[in-house]
Amino acid sequence: MPVPELRHVPAQTPVAVVFGGPSAEHDVSIVSGTAIAEALVRAGYPVEQWCLGLDGAWWRLPDGHRRDGRPQSAYDDPTSLGAAGPERAAEALDRLAGRDRPPLVFLALHGPFGEDGTVQALCEAAGLAYTGSGVTASAIGMDKAVFKRLVRGVGLPVADWLEVRAARWAADSDGVLASLDAFARSTGDVRLMVKPSRLGSSVGMTLAHRPEERGPALEEAFRFDDVALAERYVAGARDLEVSVIGNDPDALEVYGPGEIMSGHEFYDYQAKYTAGLSQTTQTAEVTAEQRAAILDLARAAYRAVGCEGFARVDFLLGADERVLVSEVNTIPGFTPISLFPTLPAAGGYTFADVCARAVDLALGRAASRVAHRTTTSDLPR
């Protein structure tokens, strides 16, 4: 199948690539964002790059900036790179929107602020088109509890879970531990995977092997969110990932599954970000039936959440061969070796093609939004 033709002429569309940001995935985002910028430049787009500090400040890098192998720490002091700023988010976006030819915003941010609907809402308020999912899908994708309630509601398989609120834990820890005990018994495994609801990168996650580890695991999760999930531990789980591309829920492209072989007991923060610790493959060894089921589930999860543009849908394949939907990442890692932008190679896409397609889909969505804009003739005057 050939890569779909772009509907917008590349060189016409200025693109502002935004990366960094106030998240644990700040450094990954720098690699993603600079790679996207360089690919789009090569594809003929006028590109500007905005690096967001850990404090949320917006800095515009000089035109033509290239990472050139700099470590991510080189971006800690953007002035040393000749960047202009700092600006507040709304200020920077308003100024972009005020230009004669406002750029399309390519969001290469991960985690809270970048992936949870916040910056998407700021772009909406400023009237700027941006890549990827809208506000609602972004927020749902970031919230594991809401995501799981939603996808289970439409009948997709997910690992059983219990939600615990920090306030309830503070008021009645014995009661919470008793519920966790009953829940773990019902799963047939004493181990529980405890995680904060709205975070990524495996931050704040603990595999509680024994009952006495459950309390400290909850405390750890509550450092990051006031809702925690205790999930059934999917023993021997394989981590599979699918790239989904498209705006039209009836015409989604799906690629994969790829697989991550974690160098740790589970795919924790170190396993994710220590070079060489984990391995990936673009073609997971699964049966043809499993592959078909996984791709169908990826489409179904993407549709249920209402994703647009692109997303990566992750799965757990248990030792019992059961496929479970794990999560949807609305701004997946976009580094040149990340699975999300490389899985579509099976459909003929280069890394730059994936970036250009994200831009094209964003412009397509923005155009359809304009068509729905309310005018005075719509008002009951």
CB of 316 to ligand ADP, least distance (A): 6
Under rule CB under 6 A, residue 323 binds ligand ADP: no
CB of 337 to ligand ADP, least distance (A): 17
**Residue from 57, 266, 346, 350 that binds ligand ADP (CB under 6 A)?**
266
Please report, for residues 3, 36, 48, 96, 331, the alpha-carbon distance to residue 356 in angstroms, rounded to integers and kept in the order given.
11, 9, 15, 20, 15
User: Given the complex with ligand ADP, which of 92 and 159 has the nearer CB atom?
Assistant: 159
Separation of CA 309 from chain center: 12
**Residue from 15, 28, 31, 159 that binds ligand ADP (CB under 6 A)?**
159
Phi/psi of residue 259, each to 5°?
-135, 145
CB of 263 to ligand ADP, least distance (A): 11
Under rule CB under 6 A, residue 107 binds ligand ADP: no
Under rule CB under 6 A, residue 208 binds ligand ADP: no
User: Given the complex with ligand ADP, which of 237 and 301 has the nearer CB atom?
Assistant: 237
CB of 314 to ligand ADP, least distance (A): 6
Residue 108 CB contacts under 8 Å (≥ 6 apart), including other chains: 17, 18, 19, 29, 32, 33, 36, 331, 334
Under rule CB under 6 A, residue 164 binds ligand ADP: no
User: Given the complex with ligand ADP, which of 38 and 231 has the nearer CB atom?
Assistant: 231
Beta pairing, strands 58-60 & 84-87:
antiparallel
Binding window for ligand ADP (CB under 6 A); candidates: 36-44, 230-238, 288-296, 297-305: 230-238
DSSP state of 76: S
CB of 114 to ligand ADP, least distance (A): 14
CB of 162 to ligand ADP, least distance (A): 12
**Cβ(245)–Cβ(361) under 8 Å?**
yes
Binding window for ligand ADP (CB under 6 A); candidates: 56-64, 99-107, 162-170, 231-239: 231-239
Q: 71: left (phi > 0), else alpha (psi -120 to 50), else beta?
A: beta
Q: Which residue is it, tokens 């002035």? A: 79
**Residue from 104, 237, 313, 362 that binds ligand ADP (CB under 6 A)?**
237
Provide the residue type at 10 as one letter. Answer: P
Angle at the Cα of 273 from the Cα atoms of 296 and 204, rounded to 5 degrees? 80
Under rule CB under 6 A, residue 278 binds ligand ADP: no
User: Given the complex with ligand ADP, which of 103 and 204 has the nearer CB atom?
Assistant: 204
**Residue from 267, 310, 315, 349 that binds ligand ADP (CB under 6 A)?**
267
Q: Which of 294, 343, 338, 341 is nearest to 25 (CA)?
A: 338
Q: Which residues of 216-237 are buried (b: 16+ CB within 10 A; e: fewer)?
A: ebbebbbebbbbbbbbbbbeeb
CB of 104 to ligand ADP, least distance (A): 27
Binding window for ligand ADP (CB under 6 A); candidates: 65-73, 100-108, 193-201, 278-286: 193-201
Cis peptide before 86 (omega within 30 of 0): yes
Tell me how far apart the alpha carbons of residues 123 and 128 are, in angstroms, rounded to a whole number. Answer: 5
* Binding footprint of ligand ADP on the chain (CB under 6 A): 159, 193, 195, 200-202, 231-234, 237, 239, 262, 266-267, 314, 316, 326-327
